[in-house]
Structure 1
Amino acid sequence: MTRFIHDQFSKDYLEELLKPFGKVQAPSRVAAEVREIDVLFSPFTTQTANIETLGLLGKMATTAAIFEPFRNPATKEEITDCLLKLLEVRNAIQREANRNKTSIPTAEIPQLWVLTPTASEAIISGFGATFKSDWVEGVYFLPEYLRTAIVVIHQLPSTQETLWLRILGRGRVQQQAVDELTALPANHPFVEVTLELLYSLQQNLRINQNIEIDDRELVMRLAPLYQEDRARAIQEGEQKGEQKVILRQLNRRFGDIDLSLIEQIKGLSTEKLEALAEQLLDFNEVADLATWLQQQQESQNQ
């Protein structure tokens, strides 16, 4: 169960970081038997934002790309399935080119990035993947025409350039990345959205009964950060900021929230917002939120 929670986090995370720089589809379906690409990315023709902000991830996103993140080490079967997805996308592009009687520009064929926490030497050598001197340690490229690389997250150097990929790691690698994230300036363009996604991940993991040791440690690491952010917002009198954080958390967990519920949340006092921020960790569905808001209304009218 927790693997699917992390899968959704990875897709949401990559989508949020990449959408200023191009079109992001997460997930995207290909083939008649329906294979889902985790994240399909097409860069804007003209960049209006600085993609270098994302370091190594930004370098990967300078061309069309498919991102396939794995919570557990990717198996040879899973990597092979990723290659099939890439070939199906390439075939679709080729069919379109044939209809238009044009050739395919190399830049239009996506580069596949398989993001895995670890990978054995047998996996790397079995796919004929090798290191390139103009890339950092931990990035292994398959033969040229396959347009694929295996990114071993736990082998990446601990630098700011690799931070946005190490967030998708496990255990100490991920926790160190979280520490580095919180040390960045608060006005960094991706700090706020990344923390909100991590807080949402924490909440989803917290309500899971069969949580793994790595996940339990991550929950414990994120809990004080979440409380500090809420406390800071309250101390600064940023009631609207508190509302924004809560609404984003609810949207991440339950999708779009009914406007009537949003209006009720906006009408809550700072004290009630603080209570809601604590209580929403235990909500399993939107109906729990509606019930809680109704209870607050009833207590206020008494």
Structure 2
Amino acid sequence: MTQRFYSQFVEHYLEQLLSPLGTVAVSGLLTDEERRGIVLFLPQEVTQTEEHSLRLLTKVAQGDCSIEVYCEPIDETDVRNCLRKLLSVFSTLNSQAQAEGKTLDENDLPRSWIVVPSASDELLNNFGARLELENWPTGIYFLPEIFRLAIVAVDKLPITEETLWLRILGRGETQRTAVNELLGLPESNQLRQNTLKLITDLRIIVVQQENLTEDEQELIMNLSQAYQQWEDTTKQQARLEGQRQVVENLLRFRFGSVDEELSRVVDNLLQLTPEEFTPLSLELSREDLLARFNSHQ
């Protein structure tokens, strides 16, 4: 059951990150035994800001591609299945090109990326997968170019800002480190906020499952710090919202309504403790409130 939820998390996570960069389609057909999340991506021209924020993930999604994320190591059969599907796509595209009297450019063929927590040397050697360190970091292994397929071994990726968004899809210490780095990003970072929401939703679901496996318990631990920060932030937001309501009610009681000028006063009053802002709201005139607190802006 948890594997299906994790696969759904993967699809929503990649859809959230890649949607600003192009067209994203998720498989949406997951069983309880599903071990992967699958995303199809068609890019569009992106801005430098978007490229910078996603870094290596943007480079992975440079052209039409599929991204298949496994939540556990894979074997030769898994790689063959990915190749089989990819070659079938090649055949379809070639037939379409021939029907239109065109020649299919090899560089226009889509690429498949298999993202796994780890990959054995034996598996990589069996498929002739090799690093391309002149263009790509460690951890990304390319099969012979004719196949247009690469395996991303997340545990081998360097621990840098460049690889963060892929390392979140790892396991164990790799994922735990990435989540801690995510928490270290500025709270104003929208990708951080959206990802934290997905992570906390996943943890809440997994915790509710019965007879948790060792891997599921590890996943809960990896996501716990993110969940705790989200919970603390949520409580703080609720507290501030409650205090805002109190201040607005006090001002509404005094002056009948809270217009734009008084709204700015509310923001400044909230910098004080309830013991400080309550008597001020009840005792100062409108003119005194505006004079005193508008000057703080």
Calculate the TM-score normalised by the size of structure 2.
0.73
2:199 maps to which residue?
198
Question: 1:217: how far off?
Answer: 1.2
1:215 maps to which residue?
219
What letter matches 2:165 in structure 1? W
Do the aligned partners of residues 177 and 52 (structure 1) sit closer, same or farther apart at CA in structure 2, a change above 3 Å counting?
Answer: same
1:40 maps to which residue?
40
What letter matches 1:127 in structure 2? F
Contact kept? 1:116, 1:153, Cα under 8 Å = yes
CA distance in 2, matches of 1:22, 1:98: 27
| Cα deviations by residue, 1:3-53 (Å, 9 ceiling, x for unpaired) | 221111111111110010011111189xxxxxx981111101x32562232
2:114 maps to which residue?
114
What letter matches 2:3 in structure 1? R
Contact kept? 1:64, 1:111, Cα under 8 Å = yes
Contact kept? 2:10, 2:37, Cα under 8 Å = no
The residue correspondences of 1:67-146 to structure 2 (distance < 5 A) are: 67-133=67-133, 134-146=135-147
The residue correspondences of 1:50-61 to structure 2 (distance < 5 A) are: 50-61=50-61
Question: 1:235: how far off?
Answer: 3.6
Question: 1:174: how far off?
Answer: 0.8
2:230 maps to which residue?
226
CA distance in 1, matches of 2:123, 2:27: 26
Do the aligned partners of residues 175 and 185 (structure 1) sit closer, same or farther apart at CA in structure 2, a change above 3 Å counting?
Answer: same
Unaligned runs of 5+ in 1: 30-35, 240-302
Contact kept? 1:131, 1:141, Cα under 8 Å = yes
| Cα deviations by residue, 1:210-234 (Å, 9 ceiling, x for unpaired) | 3233123135333312212202322
1:188 maps to which residue?
189
State the percentage of identical aligned residues: 34
Question: 1:55: how far off?
Answer: 1.3
CA distance in 1, matches of 2:136, 2:203: 32
What letter matches 2:218 in structure 1? D
Contact kept? 1:202, 1:222, Cα under 8 Å = no
What letter matches 2:46 in structure 1? Q
Contact kept? 1:117, 1:153, Cα under 8 Å = yes
Contact kept? 1:37, 1:66, Cα under 8 Å = no
How many aligned residue pairs are there?
232
CA distance in 2, matches of 1:110, 1:60: 12
Is the radius of gyration larger for structure 1 or structure 2?
2
1:3 maps to which residue?
3
Do the aligned partners of residues 106 and 52 (structure 1) sit closer, same or farther apart at CA in structure 2, a change above 3 Å counting?
Answer: farther
Contact kept? 2:199, 2:223, Cα under 8 Å = no
Do the aligned partners of residues 217 and 28 (structure 1) sit closer, same or farther apart at CA in structure 2, a change above 3 Å counting?
Answer: closer
RMSD in angstroms over aligned alpha carbons? 2.1
Question: 1:101: how far off?
Answer: 1.5
1:164 equivalent in alignment to 2:168: no
Question: 1:173: how far off?
Answer: 1.0
Question: 1:83: how far off?
Answer: 1.0
Stretch moving more, 90-99 or 199-208: 90-99
CA distance in 2, matches of 1:140, 1:214: 27
1:268 maps to which residue?
none
